[in-house]
Amino acid sequence: MYIKVWVTIMKNNQLSYIEEPKLKFAFEQATEDSRDGLTLFGPYEHSKGMIRVGVVGTEEHIELYSRFVTQMNKPIYTKSFGRPFYPGFKSVFGIEWPEEPTKKLILKQEDIDEKLAIMNLRERTYQLVTLYLDAIIKCIQDEESAIDIWYVLVPNSVLSLCRPKSYSGKASFDKKRIEVFSMGQISLFPEEDEKLEEYVQMYESDSDFHDQLKARALYNKVSSPIQVMLESTLKFEGKRPGEEFNDDMKSHLAWTHSSSLYYKLGNLPWKLDAVRDGVCYVGLVFKRLQETSRQKGYACSAAQMFLDSGDGVVFRGNVGPWMSKNEKTFHLDRESARLLLSMAIDSYKDKHGVFPKELFIHGRTAFSDDEWNGFSDAIQQSPDTNLVGITIKENDGFKILKNVEDPKAQYGVLRGLSLVVDEKSGYLWTKGFIPKTETANHMEVAVPLYVEINRGTSSIETVMKDILALTKLNYNACIYGDGIPVTLRFSDKIGDILTAIPDINWAAKPFKFYI
């Protein structure tokens, strides 16, 4: 492949540049930078009123939350051209974010400390999630007041104690009894079975606090998104002790958090400008089930569908033996592929009244014959839809370095450079120097994405333009442009949440519940 690429470079003697995609904001105005557009014109979808926030945490953390909101409502001035100043939440989005939350659910610090002191990691995480989630569920059951978003406020110690690689003492679970219970063999004591059932849930649930909380909230039909906030974030500090943010970093945090909040409230901060009508993008998600699961070697499948508006929906597919023998790639069987894509197509039809004109499926590996036949079966109800399968590989290892004698070589290659290898494949630099911000969106030598039209028919130039545009739809980070298209950016995190609790399935949910 590299010899073929080098021959292509020698023949062409130049790289092509894809013009930076623009974003659309209020009044149909467009800019390259999301922060410029929000500052000058406001969000694409306008909203009024006041945010109804529910907070869960200790009294100290709730006080920190109020101070955080106070800061978010004020301007933050910067010195770096690459970090634009932040005008304040209401100034940008036009809605009230009150310092005093609508609902306070106060937890005792000693109760949190008690859960964090549990030796076994899985039990520790499960019990801490239960402490926070039970408070939310009880409030929903007892109160009639509506909440737009829940803020779960946690100490920094959760970051070190409730994640997969955190310290874990000897498991307190009797694995043999759990296996017997899981096979449906019950004892003579119902109360013992009930306790074992909880043990099974603890043992097979993910040990990441964030992922398990979001998964269990979805399962318990908590209808408002959840935002987990570390104590250090509330203080505008880094995760390391004593790491204070300067104004540039405070502005970056404010932009990122405010755009994410606005999106989780159900509003689009921006959308792509000049996008082709009737185009739909689907990113495949695979997540291997944890080794403690009763279905060893199995993986969960899912699809992220993004519309031309920029909004997204996540569909959970079947669990099955999708992993290849080398344990590096995943492939669906024909029927599971059909079912997964059918959910996305039907959802598009329900929203638009028609089927998509073009449907691009993004994956990290080439699609198998069986898999593609299943996808093709799904679009038989829409014979006019052009189905295209795209393989996108990160960190391919191919790099281009600028001439060291060039005085501007310190800036590296431009974001948006592309190299067409042939009519089906090429390289795209989504990371690189950005003239607008006079900086780069990476810290190392930029590595391109390898893009290949694996199935179907389309123009490789069009495909790469679309991928570059999709790097600007990460509403969880208000930045100039990401390095990965949104169709694949959150696939790992979505997979983590979908498999965070055992044997659970739920209906398609908006993308905002997973970020």
pLDDT per position as a tens digit, 378-417 = 999 888 999 999 999 986 677 777 655 555 556 678 899 9
| Distance (Å) of CA 209 to CA 151, 156, 421 | 14, 12, 44
Identify the band that residue 319 occupies on the pLDDT scale cut at 50, 70 and 90. Answer: confident
What is the pLDDT, as a whole number, of residue 196? 65
| Percentage with pLDDT > 70 across the chain | 87
Model confidence at 309: pLDDT above 80: no
Minimum mean pLDDT range among 58-67, 155-164, 434-443? 434-443
pLDDT at 149 over 90: yes
CA–CA distances in Å: residue 437 to residues 18, 77, 78, 410, 478: 17, 16, 13, 15, 14
456-478 pLDDT, tens digit each: 999 999 999 999 999 999 999 89
Q: Nearest CA to 414 among 391, 437, 392?
A: 437
Angle (deg, nearest 10), helices 247-264 and 59-72: 100
DSSP string, 356-417: -SEEEEEESSPPPHHHHHHHHHHGGG-TT-EEEEEEEES--S------TTSTTGGG-SBTTE
- Report the distance separating Cα 452 and Cα 436, nearest Å: 29
Residue 337: Cβ-neighbour burial (10 angstroms; 0-12, 13-18, 19+): buried
Q: Which pLDDT band, with edges at 50, 70 and 90, does 89 fall under?
A: very high
Asked if pLDDT for residue 13 goes beyond 80, the answer is: no
287 Cβ contact partners less than 8 Å away, ≥ 6 residues apart:
299, 300, 302, 492, 494, 495, 496, 498, 499
Q: What is the pLDDT of residues 236-290, one digit of tens each?
A: 998 777 788 999 999 999 999 999 999 999 999 999 998 888 999 999 999 888 7
- Which of 138-142, 289-293, 478-482 is the least confident region? 289-293
For residue 60, give both structure tokens: 């100290």
- How much is the mean pLDDT over the chain? 87
pLDDT of residue 502: 80
Indicate if the pLDDT at residue 42 is higher than 70: yes
Whether the predicted pLDDT of 7 surpasses 50: no
Structure tokens at 118: 């549990």
Residues in the chain: 515
Determine the pLDDT at residue 165.
81
The helix (H) or strand (E) run that includes residue 70 is helix 59-72
Is 210:227 a contact under the CB 8 Å cutoff?
no
Q: Which of 148, 150, 158 is nearest to 109 (CA)?
A: 158
The pLDDT of residue 174 is above 70: no
- Pairwise CA distance, residues 243 & 228, whole Å: 20
**Residue keyed to tokens 């780069």:** 440
Q: What percentage of the chain reaches a pLDDT higher than 90? A: 62
Stated as kind and residue range, the H or E segment containing 53 is strand 53-57
- Relative to beta strand 53-57, strand 433-434 is unpaired
Q: Phi/psi zone of residue 440: left (φ > 0), alpha (ψ -120 to 50 degrees), beta? A: beta
The structure tokens listed for 178 are 């759990």
- Give which of 476, 505, 497, 492 is closest to 213, Cα–Cα: 497
pTM: 0.90
pLDDT of residue 238: 83
Distance CA 283, CA 306 (A): 8
Chain-centroid distance, C-alpha 98: 27
Q: Tens digit of pLDDT for each residue in 98-140?
A: 999 999 999 999 999 999 999 989 999 999 999 999 999 999 9
